Amino acid sequence: METTLIILKPDAVQRGLMGRILARFEDKGLQVVGCKLMQISQELAATHYSAHKERPFYPGLVKFMTSSPVLVLAIRGNGAITIARNMMGATFGSKANPGTIRGDFGVSNSFNLIHGSDSPEAAERELGLFFKAGEVLNFERAGDRWIYDYSGGKAE
């Protein structure tokens, strides 16, 4: 099982899309194991997006991410990183396929509604930035046996 970081960005929060987007992850069978509404500080945004510091869009990105609250999620499931990124769709809403979060809710090439970790290493780093020890929970869901085939001893 993988755990990934998802951020519903300021545009998703301001547009009242949090519940609809969160429901898509739960409908897919992914488990929410951490969740908080928060205002990202300048320092946290700078740390989170440090890989983009030299890019021309960096100042605007930090300004955008600190402009309004965000919903930060820890999502768990078998292959959660790939599944979540496929559900998000292409980076720009204007290029994202219908049926994806960005394809259904976005048209902007700047405001793209959602962030998801792109690798297990990034997920571990990013989850550590946004969640303190004990804030990402481990618990069994009774319905998991109807989401995953455990007949081989592990989730498939």
Enumerate the active-site residues: 115
CA atoms 94, 99, 102, 105: torsion sign: positive
CA torsion through residues 133, 131, 4, 35, sign: positive
Extract the tokens encoding 141. Answer: 């869901």
For 100, residues 6+ apart whose C-beta sits below 8 A from its C-beta are 86, 87, 88, 89, 90
Quote the CA–CA distance of 5 and 28 in Å, as a whole number.
16
Q: Which two tokens stand for residue 44?
A: 């946290």
- The whole-angstrom separation of Cα 134 and Cα 143 is 23
The amino acid occupying position 10 is: P
Q: Which two tokens stand for residue 45?
A: 């945004």
Cα 85 from Cα 106, distance rounded (Å)? 15
